[in-house]
Structure 1
Amino acid sequence: MSSNSNLVESKVTTKSDQVVALKTKAAIQPKAVQGETGTWGTVDWTYDNSTDTYTFGGGIAGTSGAPWPQSSNLIFTDKVTLPTDCSNLFFGIQSIKGETCLDTSQITNMYSMFRTAKVTNLDLSYFDTSKVTNMNCMFDSCNSLTNLDLSNFDTSEVTDMSNMLKNLIGLRKLFWDKYGFYQLMQISPIL
């Protein structure tokens, strides 16, 4: 017996401007078709099949049903306000550009946010993490990640950082202020 509790409905506009309602599982999204456009919350997006790239304008992101599947490339071109729960949001992505456009000031949950992502460099020094309480497994198994900048992370509200940096076999440079790293070591094992 199947459950529809994980289904998310979203609207997709095809090249011919025909609106199609899709119901897909929130955690596993199908690849879009070349030339498709859509809206995630109030954020308009387009998809380029030749590069497997989703490009996003500005707005307020939806609280569920992000349009990209794992192994996609993401480009943010304008300010996108992310929801409070960003668990698994960038799970398994291939690349991300325009991270400085992401407004993270409302996020409380970053559980597995970048888990298994294939990115090589992440500069998240501009992320506002002042409300975040959960960073469990945030970068777990990002095996291609070589440089990670968390230099301005505010971890004063974080209660769970377990396995945050687990299985980062390629990591060569980690930038983090002394207070954040000290707190991480006091709260829980990170590796």
Structure 2
Amino acid sequence: MFPQKLSPERSSSRDRGQTTLDFAFGVSIFLLVLAFAFTFIPGILQPFAEGTAAETVGANRAADTLAEGTLGDPATPYVLNTTCTVGFFDTGVPSGCRYTGSTATERLSIGSFQDVNVTLRGSTSGTDYSLLCWNGTALTEADSPNCGTGDKRLATGDPIPSVSIPTITARRVVAIDGTTAVIRVVIW
């Protein structure tokens, strides 16, 4: 009528809650989750697109150098001198500016094994940031009628490559000529 109680020696084999298959299944799931974490989490946490460490450091160093003193006074970082900034995007070097050379790679001391593109983007008439232009007297958007064919577009360096080549981009918000702008440095 009542089931017989088993002795402790006999009950251990029947009442066991985990089998070898249960253990193997649990360990397999744990290893899959661990492999997923090691594969995808570093990419999620990385603040830049994939690239080499030298490119990441180079882009940040170049953007900091431009924003914190090369294009202005180091005593007032992120406030750019208009003459030095326009000259940086041209081939000449105005007197009193803190850079030398005639190309963006020379002025930023970037090695010959890397390419660089530097632009200054902002908005003088609306909310959309676009490439800025110096028309000889004031900043304006490069695509506006105030920027003629002889005016200086504030972009220098090599053309940014197609999507197939990984690039590193660093940006710094600055002020120039009463306008908030963004220095964008792309290295590949």
TM exceeds 0.5? no
Which of 1 and 2 has higher RCO (CA within 8 Å, sep 6+)? 2
TM-score (norm 1): 0.20
Write 1 or 2 for the structure with the bigger share of helix: 2
Write 1 or 2 for the structure with the bigger share of strand: 1
If you compute each CA radius of gyration, which structure gives the higher value, 1 or 2?
A: 2
